[in-house]
Amino acid sequence: MHTFSFHDPWQDRRSAVNLGLVAVIALQSAALAHEYHPEWVEPDALDQGVYVDVQHPRVIRERGPVEIKVTVRNVATSSDLTIDSVRYTDVRDGRTTLHRVQGKLPTTADTYQRYHAARSDMRVAYGLADVDGVERLARRLSALLGELSGSVFVDRYHIGADEIPARTGDALRIVIEVNLIQNGTHRTLQRLAEIAFQPPLPHGREPARVWSFDVATGLLQPSPTPGASARRPEAPMWYAGDQHLHTTYSIDAFIVYRTEENVADYATAAELSGLDWIIITDHSNVHFSWRGTEYYAPEQFAEGAMQAESYSAEHSFVVLYGQEMGAGQTGPLALPSHYLAYPFSSPSTGYLENPSTRLIFNTAGCEPQQVIIDRVNDAGGFGFIAHPFRFGILGYARWDFDNHATGWAGVEIWSDKNGEIKRADELALRKWHELLDTIPGPQEGVLAERPDFPNAFPVGLGSSDAHEPRLIGATFTYARADGASREDIVDALMNGRCVASNGPLLFGELNGAQIGDVAILPENDNDLHLTLMTTPEFGPAGDYALTVFVNGAVHTVVPPTGDPGFSLIVELDDCDLAPPDTFVTVRADSVNDRFHAITNPIWLQFAAAGDANADGTMDLSDLRAFSSCLSGPNSESGDFCDIMDADRDNDVDLADFAVFEKSLGAY
């Protein structure tokens, strides 16, 4: 089925232009500080004054129908032009589909020049902290950007599931030719849509080749035992999801990217990309009327929440509906930080008020961060600080970590629509490690509860902040869980059984403890087992360096093994962990610096040999743990067994029991 449509959204609503598009400026997603402007106003993005954008999935990992969307804007040509036709050619077999249209696109060249002049004036006003000037110029820019939007041509081409390549690793390549007529002259603008069909994301149970790394000497070598060692089939799996997404209900997504896809469309795209769950977080601190629609109204939230719940019920795919809220007031423009509100015990928290009182269209001057956090928690939800070190002129501010706000569950340590780690993400990672370092070490195998917080430590997440379907899952989070139900995913997010990634799966095990858990282990002589799983999409696992951080500082760097496989376990011998060390995190980076993974912490508690529960006493509970470890050579890989190996010979045996028996009751 092939469909197309022609849109002239401004023909009958020119009077609404004067202020409406300031929302685009006020909802910026840039890294660090610069004013918002869409790509299609940049000179380098134009082809002789015309902007052509082709939207399609970056990659598909599940077989299903695919849509290619072509958007054409006549931004800066010298005269009006006509879209004559759009031709789609499948490179594999040369099969062609032609969409014939006769749609006129008026030029906006004069407006384009005035827009760039106003942008230059805005930079000056912002640099001078001229609040009145900024507001005045924002109104001018909104009007000019509205005029630039002009007539937008949109064409859609649908590809059936049966047309997807049969083998993973193959790509679907479609040549798109947009045929234009201007002043009687024909010209063709050509684009290529390339959609890779890749295997599913790893889930943690794939067989893995074992390597050993001696921390003291730096010797890295494959295990002397050839072949692969299978992961335990009963082990919990890792499920992938993206928990920061904006649909057509976010006005910046609709205007800038022509995102007309709703919650159900996003869920379909997420499944196609191989994700297991998503959380929708449309903006809620933007309040104004746009072409008869109220942004952001309770009715709009209710519609999105209904779509999320219906899709989950019909597809066995978890879709939760939250919102991205404005919180706090920073600087002369009273810009808010952003806070992600997630539902805890239901598919949605329900609509949460997020009033804002100043700037233009009430996009700034939001309520204090603590007020917003409390509102989310009182509604039965939980929340994460969004992109804490990104900010944008007229958009939002960095999170104020000095305001002593409590009640939040964690931080977006990596948020990027292209899966890149940028400076703002590195700053977020550094701050997150600082926050983790303030958490007191565990006692008796558990972390203490944090007063006024919903969980024991601030959890780090990765997400895309996608404003269009093709970017879903560019950055995402793996969650370790018994299943992919709502309850399982929420529990993993709250308790830090999570890995931020743009593809590879990385996790660790330290004396039976995994990501988010507490490891009880002896001082100094301790072994960390790291598992890295990739697919051909992300390159061999042997092409990654692994960096181990202890209390936020680099402890060990394991160089790439060169292993050509896509799954490996690196056993780090004698990590020399000891008090005051309290946590370990790990990061994987591909040699081409394209793919990364960052784990949440394994927490550390040190105890004497035989004290399996680290309560400072040898008793019958320790004896039961000891008995489970009497299983022959290399038994210390089991839960608690490293702490039972008193003579450190990698074998829990009767010699160790003699030491244990001597200490029983006297420790």
Question: What are residue 221's phi and psi, to 5 degrees?
Answer: -150, 155
- The pLDDT of residue 290: 65
Is residue 4 pLDDT above 50, yes or no? no
User: H-type helices in 450-500, by residue range?
Assistant: 486-495
Rounded distance between C-alpha atoms, residue 298 and residue 279, angstroms: 18
Is residue 660 pLDDT above 70, yes or no? no
Asked if the domains at 2-197 and 199-223+497-606 fall in one CATH topology, the answer is: yes
Are the C-beta atoms of 393 and 34 separated by less than 8 Å? yes
Q: Indicate the DSSP class of residue 225.
A: S
pLDDT band at 327 (very low <50, low <70, confident <90, very high): very high
Superfamily (CATH) of domain 2-197: Immunoglobulins (2.60.40.10)
Q: What is the mean pLDDT of residues 248-273?
A: 90
Q: Kind and range of the H or E element at 210?
A: strand 209-214
Token digits for 665?
């009751």
Would you give the distance in Å from CA 264 to the centre of its chain?
19
| Bridge-based pairing state of the strands 602-606 and 632-633 | unpaired
- Provide the 3-class DSSP secondary structure of residue 505: strand
76 Cβ partners below 8 Å, 6+ apart?
43, 46, 49, 107, 108, 109, 112
Residue 63 CB burial class (10 angstroms; 0-12, 13-18, ≥19): middle
Token digits for 473?
């899952």
Token digits for 372?
């917003």
Rounded distance between C-alpha atoms, residue 550 and residue 557, angstroms: 12
Angle at 52 between CA 50 and CA 55, to 5 degrees: 165
- The pLDDT of residue 234: 64
Query: Would the pTM of this model clear 0.85, i.e. be above it?
Result: yes
Residue 420 CB burial class (10 angstroms; 0-12, 13-18, ≥19): middle
pLDDT in tens, 278-300: 999 999 988 777 667 777 889 99
Higher local confidence (pLDDT), 502 or 574: 502
Could you give the strand order of the β-sheet that contains 528-533, starting from the edge strand earlier in sequence? 220-222, 209-214, 567-573, 528-533, 505-510, 513-514
Say if residue 478 is preceded by a cis peptide, omega within 30 of 0: no
Q: Kind and range of the H or E element at 567?
A: strand 567-573
- The pLDDT of residue 632: 52
Q: Which of 141, 139, 138 lies closest to 116, judged by CA?
A: 141
Higher local confidence (pLDDT), 633 or 349: 349
Q: What is the mean pLDDT of residues 555-572?
A: 96
Q: What is the mean pLDDT of residues 397-417?
A: 96
Task: Provide, rounded to the nearest whole percent, the portion of the chain with pLDDT above 70.
Answer: 87
- The pLDDT of residue 589: 98
- The pLDDT of residue 107: 92
Please state, in angstroms and as integers, the Cα–Cα distance from residue 373 to each residue in 37, 341, 520, 596, following that order.
Answer: 30, 8, 34, 30
199-223+497-606 has CATH 1.25.40 classification:
no
pLDDT in tens, 15-66: 222 222 233 333 333 222 234 578 899 999 999 999 999 999 999 999 999 9
Question: What are residue 612's phi and psi, to 5 degrees?
Answer: -65, -35
Alpha carbons within 13 angstroms on the beta-carbon side of residue 110 total 3
pLDDT in tens, 429-479: 999 999 999 999 999 899 999 999 999 999 999 999 999 999 999 999 999
**C-alpha dihedral, 23 to 27 to 30 to 34, nearest 10°:** 60
Is residue 5 pLDDT above 70, yes or no? no
Listed by start position, the domains of the chain span: 2-197, 199-223+497-606, 620-663
Higher local confidence (pLDDT), 393 or 356: 356
Rounded distance between C-alpha atoms, residue 73 and residue 85, angstroms: 15
User: H-type helices in 291-385, by residue range?
Assistant: 298-315, 369-378
